[in-house]
Amino acid sequence: MSAKLDGKVAVVTGAGRGIGRVIARPLADSGAHLVAAARTTEEIDSLVDEIAGAGGKAIAVRTDVTDETSVKDLFCAIDDKYGRVDVLINNAGMGVFSHIVDCSSEDFDRVLAVNAGGTFLCSREALKRMIPQKSGYIINISSVLGVRAYVNQGAYTAAKHGVMGLTKTLALEGQPHGIRVSAILPGGVNTELIGKSRPDLDPSELLEPEDIADAVMYLLGLSDNAAIDQIYIRRRNSSPF
């Protein structure tokens, strides 16, 4: 794995906390130049300090994935520092949880803007760099709600279904240029978000962020001839199939 990622430039959105922060560490440990992107400067600065303390290489770029100018500035900063993008992990996400009848238009639009809109904007800018390289890997952190639905999660479900639609199109458009695109669809993960969306779940039965990070590293360790469209990771005690 170190040989495959050594010297590569890997961008992680939503890197300041939760799944994104946990994904960032093994990427840096494997020799990648990590670009940590998130809205909260203090969180990504502390991540960069942690990585540097462990001998890794990382920079923090404050980014609002819902803002087109902010996303363009992120990739321009990467151009100035590294001149290439090899891996993009679209992880930034948020949810508002209520019955559809109680969901405001503002909340619905905000959930779609972060999850689906952010994936679109970041993927578009990454592709502009990856296509001339004839290489790259985009991994979208979706959700079981990309293929299923639950009560109280209409906006989040719509957004994650949108992420899956984008993933499928990105894979088709990237394939002629040697670019691979995959989605990871986790069930309940032990983060702050799950407490809001599924307070009924027993925390001891949840997936851990490290499970998602392991899936990311598995995908990035595949040979160049292998492609996986999606990885669906469910909680062990949830319903199969």
- Residues noted as catalytic: 156
Tokens 């809001």, located at residue: 196
Q: Among residues 218, 196, 191, which one has the least CA distance to residue 206? A: 191
DSSP result, the chain: -HHHHTT-EEEEETTTSHHHHHHHHHHHHTT-EEEEEES-HHHHHHHHHHHHHTT-EEEEEE--TT-HHHHHHHHHHHHHHTS---EEEE-------B-GGG--HHHHHHHHIIIIIHHHHHHHHHHHHHHHHT-EEEEEE--GGGT---TTBHHHHHHHHHHHHHHHHHHHHHGGGTEEEEEEEESSBSSHHHHHH-TTS-GGGSB-HHHHHHHHHHHHTS-TT----EEEE--TTSPP-
Do 79 and 129 touch, CB atoms closer than 8 A? yes
CA angle 73, 49, 209 (to 5 degrees): 85
